[in-house]
Amino acid sequence: MSHRTAAISSEGLLPGSSIWRAVFLVMAFTLAAIGYSPSAKADENSYSRPYQDVILADNPSIYWRFGEAGGPLGYDKTINHYDITYIGNPSLGMPGAIVGDADTAVGFNGGNQCAQWNPPVSLAGTFTVEAWVMENRIYPAQTFFSTPGRGAGAHADFTFELKFDFLTLDSIQKVVRFDIGDGRRVLTSSLIPLDYQPRVWYHVVAVVTPFGATYYVDGVQIGSANYRGTPLLFDTSHTVQVGGTSSVPGGNRRIATVVDEVAVYNYGLSSDQIAMHHLIGNPPGDD
C-alpha cells in the first residue's frame, strides 16, 4: 500500500489556534497508525533498485557479473577494471541468479574450466567475498572461489577457498566450507551444515578479519570462526579462480556449477548490507 504526502504548514492558518494544533496532532497519529514512516518508505523503494547499482554503491574492489555473451574476458564493473579470463570454454549465457534481471551467469564443468585472474595487487587483513552459486548436480567438493598459489599445487595455497562439500562421519552430511589462510598456514577451516539442493541459487558471503570470520547464506548468518592472524585473499603470487575444480576426476562432465555476481570488497560488509543484497537479488514473494 502506498501513501502520498504533502508538506503542510500551519503558518497563516489561524495563527495560535489550538484547533489547528489539534488537527496536526490528529494527522500525525493517523500517519503513524497506518504504518507510514519516511525511512520505511525509503527501504521499500530501495528493493526495486537494480542489483548492479546496489552492489556498486557499496564500493567493491572487484565486481564480476559474468553476463558476457562470449569470451575471453569477464569484465570487472568497478573502476579498477580487473577483468578475469575464461579458461576451458565454460558455458556463458546461463540464466542468472538475480530475479527480474536479464544479466546471465557462467557454468563450469568442475574439471578443466574456470575463470582466472592474476592479481597485480594484494588484498589481506580485512575483506569480504560475495557470490551467488548453484550446483547443477550434486558432486563432492565443488569449488566456487579460490586463490591458489601459482605453481604451488591445489593443496598448498593456504589462502582462501569457498566450496560446497561433503562431511562423512556416521553419515554423509552436506556442508559449505570456508578455508582461510595467511599464505603460509591455514588460520581456519569452517565446515557448516547446509542442505544445499541442485539447481537452487544460494547467496554466499564471507566477511574476513584478522580476528575472525563471519559467514552468511541467503542474507542470514550461519556461522563464524575465531583466530588470530593476517588473512590473505590474493597477491601477485596467488591467482583468483572462480568455478575451479572438484574431487570428481575428469574434465568432460556436463555443467556442474553455475556462478554469478561475484564481488570482492576491501572491508567487511555489515550484516545489513548483506541482507539487503540478498533481498534485492531475491525479493519477497519470488522464492
Measure the CA–CA gap between 115 and 129, rounded to whole angstroms.
Answer: 16
3-state secondary structure of 47: coil
Together in a domain, 39 and 66? no
- 33 and 82 part of one domain: no
Q: Which of 219, 218, 214 is nearest to 202 (CA)?
A: 218
**38 with 121, same domain?**
no
Instruction: For residues 3-27, give the mean pLDDT.
Output: 37
**Same-domain check for residues 222 and 188:** yes
- Quick check: is 75 in a domain? yes
Show the cell assigned to 283. 525479493
- Quick: pLDDT tens for 55-89: 999 999 999 999 999 989 999 999 999 999 999 99
Residues 134 and 153 in one domain: yes
Residues 28 and 166 both lie in one domain: no
Is residue 84, in this structure, part of any structural domain at all? yes
Residues 163 and 184 in one domain: yes
Whole domain around residue 129: which residue ranges?
50-281
Report the C-alpha gap between 34 and 68 in whole angstroms. Answer: 46
Cell digits of residue 281: 537479488
Confidence of residue 274 (pLDDT cuts 50, 70, 90): very high
Count of structural domains, the chain? 2
Strands of 45-141, DSSP E = 62-64, 73-74, 84-87, 91-94, 105-108, 114-117, 123-124, 127-135
- Which amino acid would we find at residue 83? D
Partnered with residue 189 across adjacent β-strands are 179
Q: How far apart are the C-alpha atoms of 54 and 277, rounded to whole Å?
A: 7
**pLDDT score for 20:** 39
What pLDDT sits at residue 94?
Answer: 96
In DSSP terms, 59 is beta-bridged to: none
Residue 7: what pLDDT? 33
Instruction: Give the closest residue to 116 by CA, choosing from 155, 156, 157, 88.
Output: 88
Q: Does residue 163 belong to any structural domain of this protein?
A: yes
User: Considering the domain boundaries, does residue 154 fall inside one?
Assistant: yes
pLDDT tens digits for 252-265? 445 689 999 999 99
Domain CATH for 97: 2.60.120.200
Question: How buried is 248 (Cβ within 10 angstroms: 0-12 exposed, 13-18 middle, 19+ buried)?
Answer: middle
User: Which residue in 140, 99, 118 sits closest to 241, CA to CA?
Assistant: 118
pLDDT at 141: 77
Count how many residues are written for the chain: 287
Between 248 and 93, the more confident residue is: 93
